[in-house]
């Protein structure tokens, strides 16, 4: 059980760092890219961030898991 908790903590930390990096990238793109395709990058980054937030922090996987898998 302890190994599973450590793995969850590592995954959570990695996702937080990824979200921080993507947020910084969003800021830099928004601040310095003044051409129209910069908006496409921002939309892509926002979609990627929302995927990670939903997957790792909203526990959507538990909705589709069987009763045996949920603790």
pLDDT digits (tens, 9 = 90+) for 2-47: 888 899 899 999 999 999 999 999 999 888 888 877 788 899 999 9
| pTM greater than the 0.85 cutoff | no
Do residues 53 and 19 touch, judged by C-beta distance below 8 A? yes
Residue pair 49/19 in contact by the 8 Å Cβ criterion: yes
Domain boundaries of the chain, sorted by first residue: 2-64
């Amino acid at each position: 059980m302890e190994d599973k908790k450590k793995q969850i903590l590592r995954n959570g930390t990695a996702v937080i760092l990824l979200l921080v990096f993507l947020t910084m990238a969003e800021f830099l793109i928004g601040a310095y890219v003044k051409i129209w395709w910069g908006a496409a990058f921002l939309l892509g980054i926002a979609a990627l961030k929302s995927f990670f937030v939903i997957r790792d922090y909203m526990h959507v996987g538990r909705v589709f898991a069987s009763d045996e898998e949920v603790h």
